[in-house]
Amino acid sequence: MYTQALNTRDLQPVQKEDPERLARFQAKIDAEQKIEPNDWMPEAYRRTLIRQIAQHAHSEIVGMLPEGNWITRAPSLRRKATLLAKVQDEAGHGLYLYAAAETLGVSREELVDQLLAGTAKYSSIFNYPTLTWADIGAIGWLVDGAAIMNQVPLQRCSYGPYARAMVRICKEESFHQRQGYEIMLTLCRGTLEQKAMAQDALDRFWWPALMMFGPSDKDSVHTAQAMAWKIKRFTNDELRQKFVDATVPQAHYLGLTIPDPDLRFNEATGHWEFGEIDWQEFQEVLRGNGPCNRQRMKQRRQAHTEGAWVREAAAAYAEKRKARAAAA
Ligand code: FAQ
């Protein structure tokens, strides 16, 4: 039904809404009341949410791949059990988010089809490889850390089902961040070689983690409207700055160096100033030309094909239960 809604370039023109209705809707948002699935909402609001929630859900699902890569090679049973649980949590997040998107009138199947067809976006960060065990630490620390920074405000999103899905997701992401940081701490307190691995992981993941927050405010097409609708509570640059301010001292505690020669603390503002992000690299990753885009999509498609029997079995079971209930 809303299959055209995921990419800005594909959006069909939205019909003009009744101004009075629109004003009542905005007043409700301004009064911090939640919008629920059965409430009236402008078509553009619905489409924006489907786009953002779907991209978010896809990110959680594709995000399982870089870490899943290390489950069989985790250095101990404890590390393996923790990583396995974390990757399963990400699958759960994807499912809550697809369910939240479904309340807006789009089916999970449609959204998954768009991901597999390559017409939907997912977070750029998951197109980078996990080359060493330290990358698992860096992902938990930096990627989950960035995700939390972005997602805590989403708990106050104006759309009820998305806001509520975020509550549990944020709790789990906080645990993920801690486990990642603890991996980094263990490596940094280990041998020189282990510390060098941790530094190398930070070197490779730092800039892509900053890109997770999206284009700079001057280039962000959706932020202004999303803020007015209280879907987003902070701009991309505001969240990126909060992340840098929180993370730099954590890196110092580990004894690691942030790979940015322009990084400096501004006493007057109380913020860490950082260098220019390579936006060309960001755009290339979005265009499908990151180091692992093709590999990620290939793996997702393969997993989907190989999982067909599970979906068929679940559907057959549901049919059988329905028939039994009807006969009773
Ligand atoms: N990667 O105008 P804006 C996680 C796109 S979850 C790819 O600024 P908006 C958990 C954007 O979609 C990580 N595309 O857009 C985990 C738009 O494209 P469109 C995901 C990006 O929506 C941890 C265009 O650029 N989190 O990590 C990216 O206002 C560890 C213009 O951008 C969420 O999705 C990017 N980095 O702001 C899992 C949180 N940035 O649709 C496993 C919810 C921007 O016009 C392991 N999402 N784009 O074709 C959001 O907060 C927002 O959607 C933003 C983008 C901030 C991502």
pTM (2 d.p.): 0.94
| Cα 223 to averaged position of ligand 1 atoms, centre (Å) | 11
Q: Note the pLDDT of residue 41.
A: 97
Q: How far is the CA of 166 from the centre of ligand 1 (A)?
A: 15
Residue 193 has what pLDDT?
98
Give tens-digit pLDDT for 164-177: 999 999 999 999 99
CA of 309 to the centre of ligand 1 (A): 32
Minimum-distance ligand 1 atom for the alpha carbon of 53? 43
Mutate to test the pocket of ligand 1, among 64, 121, 207 (most ligand atoms within 8 A of CB): 121
Of ligand 1's listed atoms, the one at least distance from the Cα of 214 is: 40
Q: Is there a contact between 213 and 277 (Cβ–Cβ < 8 Å)?
A: no
Q: Given this model, what pLDDT does residue 315 score?
A: 95
Tell which one of 6, 222, 241 to mutate to probe ligand 1, the residue whose CB is within 8 A of the most ligand atoms. Answer: 222
CA of 56 to the centre of ligand 1 (A): 7
Predicted confidence at residue 13, as pLDDT, reads 54
Return the pLDDT at 12.
Answer: 53
pLDDT at 17: 85
**pLDDT means per 10 residues in the chain (328 residues)?**
40 72 96 97 97 98 97 97 97 97 97 96 98 98 98 98 96 96 98 98 98 98 97 98 98 98 98 98 97 97 96 96 94
Counting ligand 1 atoms within 8 A of each CB, the residue from 2, 47, 55 with the most, and so the one to mutate, is: 55
